[in-house]
Amino acid sequence: MATALMLRVAQGDAAAFTAMVHHLERPAQALAWRTLMDRAAAEDVCQQAFLKLWTQGHRFDPARGTAEAWFRRILVNLCLDRRRAIRPVQAIDDGFDIADPAPDPEAQAIAADRQARVDMAMARLNPRQRLALSLFHGEGLSMAEIATRMETTPKAIEGLLGRARNELRTMMNETSL
């Protein structure tokens, strides 16, 4: 579906572009936010990614993959470019306010505390590690697919994910002290 739409976008079809945005916007925002953990940066990267989708639509080649994969690659590259411009450590105070559906106030408080510690630990992770975690656990991509998006090898992605999970666990234990 997206590939057919993309071919129309490449021909200047604004309605097809609007449909593409509806189809890809939410996953793009989620991936950008998880990678950058900065609202303004994530919004800006999404706008830029869709701008490229529109202006450089003629570069899309359906023989080389789906439109979703092509767009995700644009987004990933923009996120990785942007990571240099953002602070590596960013406290996420909003994490304490995340609502929990559990009726028990104590369980709710424990869950909120845990979520806040995950947020803080994720904010301290390297953006490249966050991106790999997002693509593997959030998007459900395979090691090989992530390696293609991040222009490296599946083995390197395995190592990156292993280190990311280990650092995350260590930082969460630190923040719980």
Partner 1 sequence: MTALTPEAAIAIIASHGADPARWPADAAAPLLDLAASDADVAAALADARTLDADLAGWLAATPALAAVDVTAITAVPQERPAPVSRPAFGWRPALLAASLTMMIATAGWLAMPGAPESASPIASTRSPSAVAEADETDLVFAHVFTPTAAEEDLI
Residue 54 binds partner 1 (CB under 8 A):
yes
Q: How far is the CB of 13 from partner 1 (least distance, A)?
A: 10
Residue 88 binds partner 1 (CB under 8 A):
no
Which residue among 30, 77, 108, 167 contacts partner 1 (CB under 8 A)?
Answer: 30
Residue 169 binds partner 1 (CB under 8 A):
yes
Size of the site for partner 1 (CB under 8 A): 47
Q: Tell me which amino acid residue 60 is.
A: F
Q: How far is the CB of 64 from partner 1 (least distance, A)?
A: 16
- The piece of 54-62, 63-71, 78-86, 102-110 that touches partner 1 (CB under 8 A) is 54-62
Residue 138 binds partner 1 (CB under 8 A):
yes
Q: DSSP labels for the chain? A: -HHHHHHHHHTT-HHHHHHHHHHHHHHHHHHHHHHH--HHHHHHHHHHHHHHHHHTGGG--GGG--HHHHHHHHHHHHHHHHGGGS-S----GGGGG-----S-HHHHHHHHHHHHHHHHHHHHS-HHHHHHHIIIIIS---HHHHHHHTTS-HHHHHHHHHHHHHHHHHHHHHHT-
Residue 170 binds partner 1 (CB under 8 A):
no
Distance in angstroms (rounded) separating the CA atoms of residues 113 and 101: 14
- Which residues in this chain contact partner 1 in the complex, by CB under 8 A? 10, 12, 14, 17-18, 21, 25, 29-30, 32-34, 39, 42-43, 46-47, 50-51, 54-58, 94-95, 98, 111, 114-115, 118-119, 122, 133-134, 136-138, 158-159, 161-162, 165-166, 168-169, 172
